[in-house]
Amino acid sequence: MHAVRVAPRVLGALITSRIDGAVVTIRVTEVEAYGGLGEDPGSHANRSRTARNATMFGPPGHAYAYFTYGMHWMLNVVTQPEGTAGAVLIRAGQLVDGLEAASARRPACAVERDLGRGPARLAAALGIDGRCDGLDLLTSGGILELELAARPPSHVLTSARTGVAGEGALTPWRFFLPDEPTVSPYRAAVTRGRDVRPS
């Protein structure tokens, strides 16, 4: 199923990690959808399949975990069948269980709300790293487990995706629950210029 159709359904879902002896659960409040080859300029998979984005090409229901900016892990849910890229980025969530472990992983977060506010913080709180890439999220009791809410959310808001530049900048594939303090603020992409130093 295309990521745009799956993304709103992931809102309200519970994601539980059982990593390094700690159990942490968050309730998803914000997500973004990303498409595949030649379809979505904002996607890792828009140009080609690579070693880095291979997990994004299926099977569905698996975790796509990638490292970015040389310091952060991000967690996605793969949505498309084998051979077709598509994934939902988990952008924010409310901590439900595992406060001690999540806080230890994010000692800079002074407010509990901020532990899952933004995709890098959320992934850190869950203990996400390269070991999680490709894990089956639908296996009950697994290292990383996704449990959809019994009922889809009745009210979902949308906007352009955060930090996406170029042709995909205005694509309204960000979905979030209203009145949730954990939802991260929207930020437009910032063009990074070259740092030119005098010789």
The β-bridge relationship of strands 87-97 and 72-78 is: antiparallel
Q: CB neighbours of 136 closer than 8 A, spacing ≥ 6? A: 61, 62, 142
Whole-number pLDDT of residue 198: 35
Distance CA(84)–CA(100), nearest Å, equals 39
The pLDDT-based confidence of 168 (bands split at 50, 70, 90) is confident
Q: For 138-148, write each residue's pLDDT tens digit.
A: 999 999 999 99
Q: Write down the pLDDT at residue 186.
A: 79
Extents of the domains making up the chain: 3-176
Secondary-structure percent of the chain, ordered helix, strand, coil, rounded to 5: 20, 30, 55
* Third-level CATH fold of 3-176: 3-methyladenine DNA Glycosylase; Chain A (3.10.300)
